[in-house]
Amino acid sequence: MQILGRENSLNVRKVLWLCGELGIAFEREDWGRGFRSTSDPKFLAVNPIGLVPAVIDGEVVLRESNTILRYLASKYGPEAIYPTDLADRAHVEQWMDWVAYETSISLRGAFLGGQLNEPPWNNPWFVEQGRRQITREIGQLEEHLHSTGPYVAGPNFTIADIPVGVVVNRWFHLQFDRPEYSAVGHYYALLDERAPYRQYVHNGMP
């Protein structure tokens, strides 16, 4: 299997982490910020959207990190990591969708703008809004983890923990006055017990 995308991309990390969990062998090529441009015709032939990651698994070509997680878990993973029961699966997917929509917007301000100073996200108003929003969202996760657990979808590690886990890692690297959320801290420590998480996510690169 081939993974196209730089290893410090939040969305590429999701795929690398799951491959580590499931023991999927892969080859990775650097594409994106600081490497070969995703506007290169060679990349666009694989992913016309022009974003990382892209995955080539035999004759199957995929984009969108959460879709890739669902595909890999369905093909290579055990039942527990991506349940087939519709209600259990919905509980997993709702957290994946929460990350994809809610936190991706706030982190553009809080991280890309406020920490990396990347335009156009570095507008002071947008940075402040992003910081407020990600603080509220991690607070929502805090409340949820107090009522369930130890993982976001219950007692078992699932693919919901992968997008949530990369966001939590970034949260602990954000450089502003953040509140302390004890349940999120315990969750972070729990994820850190997993070798693929330490290798691909909690490895010094926010």
Alpha carbons 9 and 34: distance in angstroms, whole number: 11
pLDDT at 9: 95
- Is residue 206 predicted with pLDDT exceeding 90? no
| Mean pLDDT, the chain, integer | 97
> Would you give the distance in Å from CA 76 to the centre of its chain?
19
Task: State the pLDDT at residue 149.
Answer: 84
- Give residues with Cβ within 8 angstroms of 102, minimum separation 6: 133, 137
Q: Which SS3 state, helix, strand or coil, does residue 160 take?
A: coil
* C-alpha span between 98 and 100 (Å, rounded): 6
Q: Which pairs from 31-35 meet CB under 8 Å and 24+ separation? A: 31/4, 31/5, 31/6, 32/5, 32/6, 33/6, 33/9, 34/6, 35/6
Statement: residue 143 has pLDDT above 90 = yes
What pLDDT does 151 receive? Answer: 98
Domains, the chain, ordered by start: 2-77 (3.40.30.10), 83-197 (1.20.1050.10)
Reported as a pLDDT band with limits 50, 70 and 90, residue 205 is confident
| Separation of alpha carbons 182 and 48, rounded Å | 42
**Residue 169 confidence (pLDDT) above 90:** yes
Chain segment 42-99, per-residue pLDDT in tens: 999 999 999 999 999 999 999 999 999 999 999 999 999 999 999 999 999 999 999 9
Write down the pTM of the prediction.
0.96
CA dist., res. 65 & res. 74, Å (int):
14
